[in-house]
Structure 1
Amino acid sequence: MLSFKPLFLFFLLLTPLCTSIDTIALNQLLKDGDTLVSKDRKFELGFFRPDNSSSSTYVGIWYADQPQKTVVWVANRDNPVNDSSGVLAINRYGNLVLSAAGNISIWSTNVSVDVQTRSTFVAQLLDSGNLVLFQENKSESFIWESIDYPTDTLLPGMKIGFNWKTGLEWKLTSWNSKNDPGTGGYSMRMVYNSTATPLFVLFKGLSKYWRSDPGPWPNFVSNDEEMYSYFTPSENGSVARAVLSDYGLYQHLKWSDADDQWEETFAVPKYRCDKYGQCGANSICSPDNVNLFECECLPGYEPKSVNDWNQRNGSDGCVSMRIGGLKCGNGDGFVTVQRVKDPDASNAQLVKSMSAKECEQACLNNCSCTAYMSIEWEGRIDCMTWYDDLMDILVHTELGRDLYVRVDKIELAKHTNKSKGFLRSGGLAIPIVSVLLALVLIIVFACRRHNKKSKTKDYVEVDELEETGRHPELQYFDLSTILAATDNFSPVNKLGQGGFGTVYKGQLPNDQIIAVKRLSKTSGQGVEEFKNEVALIARLQHRNLVKLLGCCIEGEERILVLEHLPNKSLDYFLFDHRRRSLLDWDKRFEIINGVARGILYLHQDSRVRIIHRDLKTSNILLDAEMNPKISDFGMARIFHGDQLQDETNRIVGTYGYMSPEYAVFGRFSTKSDVFSFGIILVEIVSSKKNNGLYQEDHSMNLIGHVWQLWREDRALEIVDSSLESYQSEEVVRCIQVGLLCVQEDPEDRPTMAAVVFMLSGEASPPVPKQPAFVFRKSPCSNTDPSVSKESCSINDLTITKYQAR
């Protein structure tokens, strides 16, 4: 019989040790399959293959103990090992070296070290994600560290900028593709010269692709040895990183333990106007331009190509209207263009400590000066003057600075005359502030008095609406006004009906046409949902969202007053065999992009993150020019702070547009809306409803049918037969993006920022996985006893009943 002690030792030998190694010392080898793990198991270093089907092997660092391998640094990114023979070790010269079969050197730290000290050299992986090399007796002084050579990722504390002493430049460079960590075509760098303020520039190859606002930044350091800005997470303690994607998107990402995925907190460039020089020289790019063409010429300039401008292509920019150039000192002056991003400072000069008046005079005295700007920088007022063309100007409603553009006396007179009413500077209307402010104050005061007089305990009080996001511009209508406008809710004025009530067309006494949404007394939407919709729509300002004009709350009546969109909803055209031909491909593609931008605004760019939860073609309304606007926010939810996902026992929305995790488990997130958008996109391409049957055995819905055609390389067969012409490449890209959006796992679905990029053609969509709900099974089917008949939506109306889990 074995004694206890030998038996214990026997099992101890069979049990793998739980301790992790975070260092490589001289004469130690790290082979393919081995890893280093940092002290507190935050990061891991080892060999990896981005594509499991490939033999290309790299040494990299990734987050430890995460369900997915997120690589943050790659050593041999441009020189992979082509088999499993790779070995990482410290050589006799004190360098960390990666070699392959035949002792072929693949990569090295390549630093000069003093080997005469007879000290042992050590490489260690720190909990910061930094791989460092040092002499054992000088562990506080690093010979080399990986954070000095970033690849596509910044970890907290990592820098972008310059080390003047060592000659190092800290910059990011994208991967070639998702499965190729080689140096890609995009780079993020700090750009600085002595005549301008520093800024970040995203390059595509050698060309500028995006440009930040100039500093100062909160994490900016500048001294005799270094100039840099370092990455800091928005929330202390959160696991966060910044990454430059292979398609040119710079993102700040935060890890969600609850959702086991990365959540985007910031991204650029997001809009067409963000792209460098989108409108060419001497122009302004305005993402919320009411004319839907984002480009406008600066004062004193006109389109270089009128034909291109009419075709909504402003890349050639604008040229001066001055014949023979500006005649210096001949009555010329400046027109103010309010709140814009500084023009590119490549052809600018910065003079420190100069007042605005002195700056104006300095520019006026130099005939080559085209514009100037007074800049507050490090507690002083500086003067920036531009010469030659003005590039990359973007409207900033909140953060921008005033730009003073030089014009001749004729142009100056035009703008002086306009200032009697509205001064237009480069297409930006500048109202006479004092008059309008007085009017606004009068209206707000009157509205508040009216509501205080009409309050009863049954009403939603003004203060309650203010707490939920009430805007002072919101009007409050008497019920008598609404009744008169709609002819007592006449059936003749009925525009449509949804799950929560009926929408009527109305006309106010000033002849303004409105849409009146009357909450049904028997609907599932109560006071909370109504307050929710009012609060949400009132704070949302985007050209692809329906605008709220006001509301009415009297007794049991709860009414929304919205802008009237004359062309009804998208489904009105798509699913009618006669009307669908009115939507050619160009218009459909505009609608797709408009809806995508609207959802992106909700998810990322509005003051709060908003999940719509009921996106469908009937909730996409069309204005007079057939431009899309997202409507019906009764079921929307606000996410606060770090919240990435929520769960509910009350399933609301429309079957056919619901994501699987929401329909089955009640979980919703931004990826739920992405799923719904994917359905809408495919419906727009095909003019077919997702809930239809598209196989002989009636087993497959639209998404399943599209997926089958996609796999057989026959995707274009789904395109609406009424489309006489279209760009095949553009349509296929839309179908591919749609399939990416409806993948079963929310983690696999792209963000709306990525969707917008892919639709624009700026990024190549990856290969989609099989979508959810490929095989059609009605939620009201008798084969599913867990769902009651009365819980199901009929005729695509919104679901409002509770159902068992």
Structure 2
Amino acid sequence: METFTHLFVYSFFFSLLRTSITQDTITASQSIRDGGTLVSAGGSFQLGFFSPGNSKSRYVGIWYVISPEIVVWVANRDAPLSDHSSILKVTGDGVLVLLNSTNGIVWSSNTSRSPENPVAQLLDTGNLVVKDRNDDNKDNFLWQSFDYPCDTHLPEMKLGWDLVTGLDRFLSSWKSMDDPAQGEYSTRIDPRGLPQRVVMKGDSIKTRAGSWNGLGFTGHALRPNPVYEYGFVLNEKEVYYEYKLLNNSVFSRYVLYPSGVGQRFVWMDRTHSWEPLDTSQADRCENYALCGGYATCNINNSPVCACLEGFLPKSPKQWDSVDLSDGCVRRTSLKCDDGDGFWKHKGVKLPDTSSSRFNKSMTLKECEGMCLKNCSCTAYASLDVRGEGSGCVLWFGSLVDTRQFSEGGQELYIRMAISELGRLEKKMHSNKEKLVGIIVGSTLLVVGMIIVGLVSYIWKKKLRNQDQAKSKLLDWHKRINIINGVAKGILYLHEDSRLRIIHRDLKASNILLDNKMNPKISDFGLARSFAGDQIDSETNRIIGTYGYMSPEYAVHGQYSVKSDVFSFGVLVLEIVSGKKNKGFCHPDHQLNLLGHA
């Protein structure tokens, strides 16, 4: 009997312990009610019911355990629940279903085959999957949330197309911060021509990151970093972009906001906050086709748009009024025979590739020949810039959405008439001659300035040595006489003059001595006068001599009679010690004379 009692107590305690352990999986015999959650095995992500912002509607979503306010995926984003009586379960056919209080299906997943023992599991990547319980091969998943993203791109999530099934994995913004329903903006891979990453507003392109060149998208420099690495896959079965974490202890995400702006974040453990890394629309040149056809956008220029070499504004009057959307046209039309050639533009974002063709094995030389054989071909570039470059891209029709970078970018070869190429080469040669003249002139100017500076330095050093020798010859009686004289002069300016005068630049070089060593205060160019009872003032322009300025004047621009008294104190130290405040040095510290005193 005692043994039975112990077994009962142990089994009861163990059952309590099991229900308290956080689970990452539900089977066909289990369900999650509003208030219950799943937590991934490593404790990174949590699934449950939530209400966004000020909304009272209920949704099933996935969020970070360390940052619960950041929801990365929503199941029923377009079908909100009105109460807290719903449940999420997985059926025997391997389908996730969300049931409301009347057991009506609000949302469900899908599957093409029936499993033996279906379970739903929340992985540490943030991916919710339905699979056979004993099959962890991701290629055999019955369904996964990563195939149906919302507004957040997580590491290892594919963004792009399954060309076999026709599945398009794309991000779509929330309608608002309180409403996770699908908004008007989306980030996707455009598979036309050479696939490229775009942000769409409805059916129109808003911004374009460009095509993949082996290292990154042509419109954004994806530089190596210690957080993650990028990848792009293009074959006969699929085309997609993804990024993977190099350190699994780091959290990173890319989110597309309801405004259409995308931003990448990384979690900072030290501050317990999300630190922004980059944004999809950093400046005006990110707007798609802002400058029209055959033009480049350079954010460092004003106006930002300029015609490509060999092209002129299509509508000059509109162009002069900064209406740039019509773009540019050729100065000299093409002949479509052997009288055409190519002009190389360096450091650009490649144009829209939706009307392009590409070949992975063709060399650039072969690409040039292929383009010359086709009258409608307007440009070519390297497909993959790694190493010496491989593969080829050909453009047909107008070149749209080209950007000029101050650094980075690619080389784009644009088809031109031979006569136009000759004119451009002459222009380039003339510009080189001008550049040589500027370099030579600048070099001579710099050398001259260095010589003048050296002469000036030597002369000032000689004068400084003379000044120091004079100060050493003065006896104490004469030094005190000078101090008293300066003090009387300051007293007169501050108290006895009809207008109170603040000198603001009292220093040794502004104290003149006559042949009897009587001091005279000179150089009143920075002086200010006060009327009536005024005792102080402020200025936004700090001028004077550092080393003699009072702290409140040097830092805040506040000056008064106290400013001159501070300068006088520095002057007294210099006269007594025979040392200059700024030039003072001591073997035991780095303080000036004032700090040393």
- Whole-angstrom distance in 2 between the partners of 1:45 and 1:30: 10
CA shift for structure 1 position 242? 1.0
Q: What is the match of residue 313 of structure 2? A: 303
Q: What is the match of residue 38 of structure 2? A: 36
How do 1:273-672 and structure 2 match up within 5 A?
273-289=285-301, 292-322=302-332, 325-329=333-337, 331-377=339-385, 379=387, 380-408=389-417, 411-422=420-431, 501-502=542-543, 522=549, 556=582
State the identity as a percent: 38
Q: 1:310 to 1:222 in 2, by over 3 A?
A: closer
- Whole-angstrom distance in 2 between the partners of 1:43 and 1:123: 14
Paired residues of 1:24 and 1:89 also in contact (CA < 8 A): yes
CA shift for structure 1 position 439? 7.8
Q: 1:450 to 1:147 in 2, by over 3 A?
A: farther
Residue type of the partner of 1:402?
A: E
Match of 2:277 among 265, 275, 278: 265
What is the TM-score of this pair, normalised by structure 1?
Answer: 0.50
Residue type of the partner of 1:62?
A: W
- Whole-angstrom distance in 2 between the partners of 1:10 and 1:376: 64
Q: What is the match of residue 77 of structure 2? A: 77
Paired residues of 1:501 and 1:519 also in contact (CA < 8 A): no
- Whole-angstrom distance in 1 between the partners of 2:371 and 2:11: 86
Paired residues of 2:190 and 2:196 also in contact (CA < 8 A): yes
Instruction: Give per-residue Cα distances to partners, 1:202-235, cap 9 Å, x unaligned.
Output: 2111111222242224422345544322123587
CA shift for structure 1 position 392? 0.3
Q: Does 1:178 align with 2:177?
A: yes
Which shifted more, 209-218 or 154-163? 209-218
* Bigger relative contact order, structure 1 or 2 (CA pairs below 8 A, ≥6 apart): 2
Q: What is the match of residue 243 of structure 1? A: 255
CA shift for structure 1 position 199? 2.5
CA shift for structure 1 position 19? 2.7
- Whole-angstrom distance in 2 between the partners of 1:97 and 1:394: 47
Q: What is the match of residue 200 of structure 2? A: 203
Paired residues of 2:110 and 2:143 also in contact (CA < 8 A): no
- Whole-angstrom distance in 1 between the partners of 2:336 and 2:14: 90
Paired residues of 2:190 and 2:354 also in contact (CA < 8 A): no
Q: What is the match of residue 61 of structure 1? A: 62
Paired residues of 1:299 and 1:411 also in contact (CA < 8 A): no
Instruction: Give per-residue Cα distances to partners, 1:684-719, cap 9 Å, x unaligned.
Output: xxxxxxxxxxxxxxxxxxxxxxxxxxxxxxxxxxxx
CA shift for structure 1 position 266? 1.2
SS in 1 for 2:143: strand
Residue type of the partner of 1:100?
A: N
Paired residues of 2:85 and 2:100 also in contact (CA < 8 A): yes
Instruction: Give per-residue Cα distances to partners, 1:581-624, cap 9 Å, x unaligned.
Output: xxxxxxxxxxxxxxxxxxxxxxxxxxxxxxxxxxxxxxxxxxxx
Paired residues of 1:97 and 1:108 also in contact (CA < 8 A): yes
Q: 1:436 to 1:368 in 2, by over 3 A?
A: farther
Q: 1:131 to 1:491 in 2, by over 3 A?
A: same
- Whole-angstrom distance in 1 between the partners of 2:339 and 2:524: 61
- Whole-angstrom distance in 1 between the partners of 2:316 and 2:181: 42
Q: What is the match of residue 160 of structure 1? A: 159
Q: 1:263 to 1:455 in 2, by over 3 A?
A: farther
Paired residues of 1:500 and 1:523 also in contact (CA < 8 A): no
- Whole-angstrom distance in 1 between the partners of 2:524 and 2:141: 77
- Larger Rg belongs to: 2
Q: 1:348 to 1:166 in 2, by over 3 A?
A: closer
- Whole-angstrom distance in 2 between the partners of 1:228 and 1:455: 64
Q: What is the match of residue 517 of structure 2? A: none
Residue type of the partner of 2:264?
A: H
Q: 1:84 to 1:269 in 2, by over 3 A?
A: same
SS in 1 for 2:285: helix
- Whole-angstrom distance in 2 between the partners of 1:96 and 1:414: 68
CA shift for structure 1 position 414? 3.6
Residue type of the partner of 1:185?
A: E
Q: 1:148 to 1:7 in 2, by over 3 A?
A: closer
Paired residues of 2:291 and 2:297 also in contact (CA < 8 A): yes
- Whole-angstrom distance in 1 between the partners of 2:245 and 2:551: 41
Paired residues of 1:154 and 1:231 also in contact (CA < 8 A): no
What is the TM-score of this pair, normalised by structure 2?
Answer: 0.66
- Whole-angstrom distance in 1 between the partners of 2:291 and 2:50: 43
- Whole-angstrom distance in 2 between the partners of 1:56 and 1:359: 57
SS in 1 for 2:244: coil
Gaps of 5+ in 1: 424-430, 457-487, 504-517, 526-554, 558-805
Instruction: Give per-residue Cα distances to partners, 1:277-311, cap 9 Å, x unaligned.
Output: 0111111111000xx21111223333333343233
- Whole-angstrom distance in 1 between the partners of 2:452 and 2:239: 58
- Whole-angstrom distance in 1 between the partners of 2:135 and 2:247: 34
Q: 1:414 to 1:104 in 2, by over 3 A?
A: same
Q: Does 1:230 align with 2:242?
A: yes
RMSD: 4.3
Q: How many pairs were matched up?
A: 460
Q: What is the match of residue 106 of structure 1? A: 106
Paired residues of 1:61 and 1:74 also in contact (CA < 8 A): yes
CA shift for structure 1 position 171? 1.6
Match of 1:212 among 206, 209, 213: 209
CA shift for structure 1 position 341? 0.7
Q: 1:9 to 1:27 in 2, by over 3 A?
A: closer
Residue type of the partner of 1:416?
A: E
Q: What is the match of residue 91 of structure 2? A: 91
Residue type of the partner of 2:348?
A: V
Residue type of the partner of 1:40?
A: G
Q: 1:524 to 1:26 in 2, by over 3 A?
A: farther
CA shift for structure 1 position 253? 0.4
- Whole-angstrom distance in 1 between the partners of 2:447 and 2:236: 57
Paired residues of 2:293 and 2:327 also in contact (CA < 8 A): yes
Q: 1:326 to 1:43 in 2, by over 3 A?
A: same
How do 1:760-771 and structure 2 match up within 5 A?
none
- Whole-angstrom distance in 2 between the partners of 1:15 and 1:359: 68
SS in 2 for 1:264: strand
SS in 2 for 1:88: strand
SS in 1 for 2:430: coil
- Whole-angstrom distance in 2 between the partners of 1:364 and 1:490: 73
Which shifted more, 55-64 or 298-307? 298-307
SS in 1 for 2:211: coil
SS in 2 for 1:124: strand
- Whole-angstrom distance in 1 between the partners of 2:448 and 2:36: 74
Q: What is the match of residue 24 of structure 1? A: 26
Q: 1:329 to 1:455 in 2, by over 3 A?
A: farther
- Whole-angstrom distance in 1 between the partners of 2:394 and 2:248: 39
How do 1:766-785 and structure 2 match up within 5 A?
none
Q: Does 1:130 align with 2:132?
A: no
SS in 2 for 1:312: coil
- Whole-angstrom distance in 2 between the partners of 1:180 and 1:146: 19
